[in-house]
Amino acid sequence: MESDGIESVTSLDMMDEDEIHGRPHHFVSVPKPHNNSINIPGTTSVHELLECPVCTNSMYPPIHQCHNGHTLCSTCKTRVHNRCPTCRQELGDIRCLALEKVAESLELPCKYCSLGCPEIFPYYSKLKHEAVCNFRPYNCPYAGSDCSAVGDIPFLVTHLRDDHKVDMHSGCTFNHRYVKSNPREVENATWMLTVFHCFGQYFCLHFEAFQLGMGPVYMAFLRFMGDETEARNYTYSLEVGGNGRKLIWEGNPRSIRDSHKKVRDSHDGLIIQRNMALFFSGGDRKELKLRVTGRIWKEQQNPEGAKVCEVPRIICGLN
């Protein structure tokens, strides 16, 4: 995705517009945490037996062993070319059924217990839970690269600000202008991510250009930095217009659990055809000057069960 030569402009209502020029993307590579063993009184030695000597992950059926009794997981069996990594003997197709049976009797905490998960599961149910655990780390929501950084929300906010140099703003309303001097030459592009802080939460505003069917389009959408269930408590609207016309989008933000690509490919956001975007830009329609305004609000249930809209008493703009 291209970003060079693209500039975005953010402004506060009732104030003069200050242009923010496009900056090169900055990336950080943070390795994902390893599947380390969890020490439990009385089961530590058994759990060590269930640790693959090659990848150090917990082993699940089929568990393989060589003629000398050394074990390893099925994934690593192909990686070592059917040779035992301990004694170098040929592995063959011997299953360690005894170890598989022992594993059935174990109960272990979620590997994200250090992040707050209190759950304990039978050995063979643990993986299924960990894949959807609410305490599992989040992937970096930055769309300009395949960043490998993972962590909790406070870590990712700092990471986005310091390593990706994204624009950080406080407020529930925004007024953003996207500028491109030669829009017809750009088929795929990602504008600099913007992060908003309001209601004690963080939201990511994405804007990009891509091909939809046979025609080029622009798309803007919001993602919530948290889980999907919490994201449903918030609603946002996006509005774009010009020359007496406007388009409005309203919906719930998607969680950053859903990748940027997944949200974009589901078309869950404000989509503007390029010709319409240039019409909104005015002038000779050769330069993109698209203004996107929006706001974020929170809906809560009142004691009678009806939904009420919560907005700050002071309308928040961008600092």
- Residue 113, domain member (yes or no): yes
Check residue 23 and give its pLDDT: 35
Q: What residues of the chain score a pLDDT lower than 50?
A: 1-43, 311-319
Same domain, 63 and 100: yes
Measuring CA to CA, how many Å separate 312 from each of 62, 106, 233, 241?
56, 50, 15, 26
Over residues 117-136, the pLDDT tens digits come to 999 988 888 889 999 998 99
Check residue 188 and give its pLDDT: 78
Structurally, how many domains does the chain consist of? 2
State the chain's mean pLDDT as an integer.
80
Give 108's contacts (C-beta < 8 A, 6+ positions apart): 38, 40, 43, 47, 120, 121, 123, 126
Same domain, 152 and 105: no
Same domain, 203 and 106: no
Same domain, 160 and 278: yes
- Residue 91, domain member (yes or no): yes
Check residue 244 and give its pLDDT: 85
Phi-psi sector, 21: left (phi>0), alpha (psi -120 to 50), beta: beta
Provide the 3-class DSSP secondary structure of residue 167: strand
Check residue 227 and give its pLDDT: 93
Cα separation, 83 vs 97, in Å, equals 19
**What end-to-end distance do the CA atoms of the chain give, in Å?**
28
Cα separation, 319 vs 308, in Å, equals 28
Domain CATH number, residue 82: 3.30.40.10
Same domain, 93 and 150: no
- Residue 13, domain member (yes or no): no
User: Which domain does 101 fall in, by range?
Assistant: 46-131
Domain finish residue from 80, 106, 131: 131
Measuring CA to CA, how many Å separate 290 from each of 43, 97, 135, 276?
61, 64, 38, 10
Check residue 301 and give its pLDDT: 58
Same domain, 201 and 294: yes
Percent of the chain with pLDDT over 90: 42
